[in-house]
Amino acid sequence: MIKAVRGMKDILPEEIPLWQKVEETARDVFETYLYHEIRTPILEPTELFSRSIGEATDIVEKEMYTFEDSHQQLSMRPENTAGVVRALIENRLQDLRGSQRYYYIGPMFRRERPQKGRFRQFHQIGVEAFGDAGPYVDAEIIQMLARFFRRLGIDAYEVRINSLGCRSCRPLYIEKLRAAMDAASATLCEDCQRRRDKNPLRVFDCKTDQEQLASFPVITDNLCAACQEHFDGFLSSLKKMAIPSIVYPSLVRGLDYYTRTTFEFVSTSDALGSQNSLLGGGRYDGLVQVLDGPVLCGIGFALGVERLIMALPDVLQEAPLCYYVAHIENEGFARALTLAERLRDHGVAVAVGNPLKAIKAQFKEADKMGATTVFVIGPDEAKQGVVTIKDMKTGEQRSVPESEVMADITERA
């Protein structure tokens, strides 16, 4: 048997309504903040990702699906900020009037070991806003997300925020942090020894070295004046919007391009496993230039649709109306076909019974597919030009002239 590849899942019809609800809500909410949809290719030159995300990150180092196509290295996108920035530069979107605000919905690919809430093909809904340098837009994005979550009925989450500084203050801070790590070196775990060189900010995630961490310097105490001002503006905007958030000086993003504001929404529901981060994002003021574009700042986030759906509250989905035409003998079958087509002309979803099945089996089938109403057409009905209509919930039956069936069911719907 040929099976789906590891970490890639079918999304079956029964869960599609949830996906559609999430996507619809996102479009709806984001459009009211003047974001517009953009669709970019899944395949991009590998270099787009290595330059933006960072050569030394796990994503670029070992998680991309990459292959060569006529002497060019191509990769399936592991995220979509780089793709949107590329599209912006290539199409000179920054020269258009108005602000450049985009959202996208689509599959991403990372070759990681699958686990709960983590897949090799997963889906992200993301937003990117370009050209707005002030901290107000940072807060507005959080506000928009809060609205989006409210609309979906998700309230078991917390908002974590931080500032990563900029190209002038972050390197100074990292040196300071490394010095502190070196001083404590002897007592640090293996993982932390490795993090020291590769990604020192990650030490704060360590589960074993908590005691030492408490004395390490934190980034929020080491911001330059401009970054501090930006962060203060961000915090005060959130306050004006009455959005509760928690400052996590240890909050780091895994991609190199982030500067200043970073944030994450973490689910506090136990429906998710240990991968409980619903979305992550932040400001990337240098990224457009890194990709040979103009001087243009940006901020955005990406949220994981699979995780979001796991965090969705259970609500009963009402079954859609569905009709079934059961029939007896050839003449009944012929009339059933005609009736079904007439109903479909009016947009009604209707199935016709299998002519090889006895009336009893047709009813069973109607019940199984969840038909709310069954029409019966047999010799008796044919003779009188009527249709027997049975309500499957109450079991009541009535006889209606063939020409009045549509009027009858719309009246009762």
Strand order in the sheet with 323-327: 350-352, 323-327, 373-377, 386-391, 397-401
402 binding RNA? (CB under 7 A): no
59 in Cβ contact with 254 (< 8 Å) = yes
Answer for which of 112, 228, 334, 400 binds RNA (CB under 7 A) is 112
| Per-residue x/- track, 2-41, RNA (CB under 7 A) | -x--xx----------------------------------
Site for RNA in 315-344 (CB under 7 A): 328
Task: For 302-371, give the DSSP string.
Answer: EEEHHHHHHHSPP-PPPPPP-EEEEE-HHHHHHHHHHHHHHHHHTT--EEE--TTS-HHHHHHHHHHTT-
Residue keyed to tokens 């559609």: 20
Handedness of CA 58, 63, 69, 71 (dihedral sign): positive
109 in Cβ contact with 77 (< 8 Å) = yes
How far apart (Å, rounded) are the C-alpha atoms in residues 181 and 142?
33
Site for RNA in 76-95 (CB under 7 A): 79
71 binding RNA? (CB under 7 A): no
286 binding RNA? (CB under 7 A): no
Q: Which two tokens stand for residue 235?
A: 């915090």
302 binding RNA? (CB under 7 A): yes
66 binding RNA? (CB under 7 A): no
Binding range to RNA, per CB under 7 A, among 94-102, 137-145, 226-234, 353-361: 353-361
Task: For 45-97, give the DSSP string.
Answer: EHHHHHHHT-TTSHIIIII--EEEETTEEEEE-S-SHHHHHHHHHHTTGGGSS
Q: Which two tokens stand for residue 228?
A: 């501090």
219 binding RNA? (CB under 7 A): no
307 binding RNA? (CB under 7 A): yes
388 binding RNA? (CB under 7 A): yes
| Per-residue x/- track, 140-179, RNA (CB under 7 A) | ----------------------------------------
141 in Cβ contact with 135 (< 8 Å) = no
Binding range to RNA, per CB under 7 A, among 15-23, 145-153, 218-226, 269-277: 269-277
* Closest approach of RNA to the CB of residue 163, in Å: 17
DSSP state of 34: T
Positions touching RNA (CB under 7 A) are 3, 6-7, 57-59, 79, 110, 112-119, 122, 124, 191, 195, 199, 202, 205-207, 252-255, 264, 273-275, 277-280, 302-304, 306-307, 328, 357-361, 363-364, 366-368, 374, 376, 378-381, 388, 390, 392-393, 395, 397
